Amino acid sequence: MIERVEQLAQQAGFFGCMDEGAGLVFRRFAELIVRDCMDIAANIGEHGPVAAQEMQELFGVEDA
C-alpha cells in the first residue's frame, strides 16, 4: 500500500517524525482504514463494488 498512502503521509509530514516501527504501524493503520472504506463502498448501490475495486487499486491493498 502503499505507495499512495506513503505519498499522502509524506505530504502530511508523518515520516519525518517516525521511526521504522512507527512507520509500519502507520501503514497497517492506513490499510485498515482503506479496507473499511472498501467494505462500505462495496455495499452501496450498483456501483459500490466498482468503487471498492478502484480504492483497492489506488491504494494497493492486496486481497485478504
pLDDT in tens, 7-59: 888 888 876 666 777 878 888 888 899 999 999 999 999 999 999 999 999 98
When comparing pLDDT for 64 and 10, which is higher?
A: 10
Predicted local distance difference test score (pLDDT) of residue 25? 84
Angle of the 20-42 helix axis to the 48-59 helix axis, nearest 10: 160
39 is a domain residue: yes
End-to-end C-alpha distance for the chain, whole angstroms: 13
Domain encompassing residue 33 = 3-59
Distance between CA atoms of residues 8 and 43, nearest Å? 26
* In-domain check, residue 42: yes
Whether 29 maps to a domain, the answer reads yes
The pLDDT assigned to 1 comes to: 58
Q: Is the residue at 64 inside a domain?
A: no
pLDDT at position 57: 92
54 within a domain of the structure (yes/no): yes
Q: How many domains does the chain have?
A: 1
Q: With respect to residue 16, please indicate whether it lies within any of the assigned structural domains.
A: yes
* Domain assignment of residue 13, yes or no: yes
